[in-house]
Structure 1
Amino acid sequence: MSSNPVDALIEPDGSDPVPDMLENAVGLSFLSPSFYIQQFCTSVIKSNPWDWAAEQLSGD
């Protein structure tokens, strides 16, 4: 057994543990018009309008 605590560390997993469908149902996202706008833009235009707006407004 090693006395160095760093040896016991493992790389964290970057996956989302909660499925998106469950998050949308629990958060009632299906009731929001912005949910459908985002779904439309993501599937048709292949761009997320909310990410684009945040990028434009936040600056560098």
Structure 2
Amino acid sequence: MALAAGLYGALLRRTSGFALSVVLGALLFERGFDQAADGLFARLNQGKLWKHVKHKYETEEK
């Protein structure tokens, strides 16, 4: 109960604090979701992406 009261007092009591909490929460969620989706995509497509096969097709130019 003390945690909920502290959270309310720190973030949700004023409209500005609530708005800031919503914006920061959305930004953090978006960043985490994007990183997780990129990691999942790379894992599911292991060996099929350019970064995994480019050594087969690139030649050294002199």
- Which of the two has higher C-alpha Rg? 2
Between the two structures, name the one with larger relative contact order (CA 8 Å, sep ≥ 6). Answer: 1
> TM-score, normalising length from structure 1?
0.28
Please report the TM-score for the alignment, with normalisation by the length of structure 2: 0.28
Q: Which has the higher helix share?
A: 2
